[in-house]
């Protein structure tokens, strides 16, 4: 079942972040006989108040029909004490990196629900921040899209050795973190990514747009100015041969047009030639071709 469809918990009405994320697994999705088992297991793990560590294997091996571990469930339902206890008892990275049926790790879910204490503890416990969900998003992609500065800071400071790989990871829409924050218009995060070493001129895989192209598409003057001031390549071409300035054609914001015109190479002011001439030439050649090997009714 969908844990929330409009961005809110159906029971509490609490806004749970970006509606693109689905938390459709959890205690509410369990059968009644499974629910009591889960509840009992949580209680047994909480019996460590006397300082003794309980448990090893049973709770590590349990998975719901959605592929969630007890750690996934505790994060989904914001049972912070249970989550912290499980992380403490995990004794290794493998359990922390288990992915559910949506390929979400505990870290993905902690960022989605903006539980910064859990994010911090997971990173210190050695979880893998490079893992991607079923949309190709790392946990940092999600923090960039939601604009969570707290999660963004924890992720970029808590796994510095993994950052270069994360910055180079495109999601399944072909966007790296720099593209995600540009699309959302989060100026401070854009600036932080650049300072941390993200490639300001990275191109989307699908069409070759850079963050500057995206800023023009969104008609975000402040972002255009920021990217230019940070050294964005104004002459970078999309796979279709367009500069950011070309994308101002027919757009209403003349300030963006002027800002880009002043810095774009003069020979790139004009739109690239249309491919229609090549197409027409090909069509004419095709019409003049004679096919003498067509077989009709066996002849």
| pLDDT tens for each residue of 117-158 | 999 999 999 999 999 999 999 999 999 999 999 999 999 999
Burial tier of 124 (Cβ tally within 10 Å: 0-12, 13-18, 19+): exposed
| pLDDT tens for each residue of 206-246 | 999 999 999 999 999 999 999 999 999 999 999 999 999 99
DSSP type of residue 8: B
Q: Over 90: is that where the pLDDT of 6 sits?
A: no
Tokens coding 82: 């249970």
Indicate the class that CATH gives domain 174-273: mainly alpha
CATH entry, 1-169, from 3.40.50.620, 3.40.50.10740, 1.25.40.20, 1.10.3720.10: 1.25.40.20
Domain with CATH 1.25.40.20 in the chain: 1-169, 174-273
| pLDDT tens for each residue of 11-66 | 444 444 444 555 544 444 445 555 456 556 665 655 444 444 444 567 788 899 99
Q: State the pTM of this model.
A: 0.77
């Amino acid at each position: 079942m969908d844990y929330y469809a409009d961005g809110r918990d159906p029971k509490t009405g609490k806004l749970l972040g970006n509606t693109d994320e689905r938390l459709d697994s959890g205690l509410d999705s369990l059968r009644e006989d499974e629910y009591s088992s889960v509840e009992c297991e949580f209680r047994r793990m909480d019996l460590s108040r006397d300082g003794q560590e309980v448990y090893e294997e049973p709770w590590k091996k349990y998975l719901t029909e959605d592929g969630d571990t007890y750690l996934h469930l505790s994060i989904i339902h914001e049972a912070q004490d249970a989550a912290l206890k499980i992380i403490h008892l995990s004794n290794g990275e493998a359990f922390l990196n288990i992915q559910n049926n949506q390929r979400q790790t505990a870290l993905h879910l902690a960022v989605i629900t903006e539980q910064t204490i859990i994010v911090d503890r997971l990173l210190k416990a050695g979880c893998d921040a490079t893992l991607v969900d079923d949309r190709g998003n790392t946990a940092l992609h999600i923090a960039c899209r939601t604009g969570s500065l707290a999660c963004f800071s924890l992720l970029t400071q808590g796994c510095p050795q993994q950052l270069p790989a994360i910055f180079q990871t495109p999601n399944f829409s072909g966007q790296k973190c720099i593209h995600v924050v540009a699309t959302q218009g989060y100026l401070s995060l854009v600036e932080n990514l650049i300072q941390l070493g993200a490639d300001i001129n990275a191109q989307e895989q699908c069409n070759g747009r850079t963050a500057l192209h995206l800023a023009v598409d969104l008609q975000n003057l402040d972002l255009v100015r920021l990217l230019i001031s940070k050294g964005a390549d104004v002459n970078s071409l999309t796979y279709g041969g367009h500069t950011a300035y070309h994308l101002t054609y027919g757009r209403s914001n003349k300030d963006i047009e002027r800002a880009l015109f002043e810095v774009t190479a003069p020979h790139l002011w004009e739109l690239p030639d249309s491919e229609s001439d090549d197409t027409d030439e090909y069509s004419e050649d095709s019409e003049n071709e004679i096919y003498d090997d067509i077989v009709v009714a066996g002849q």
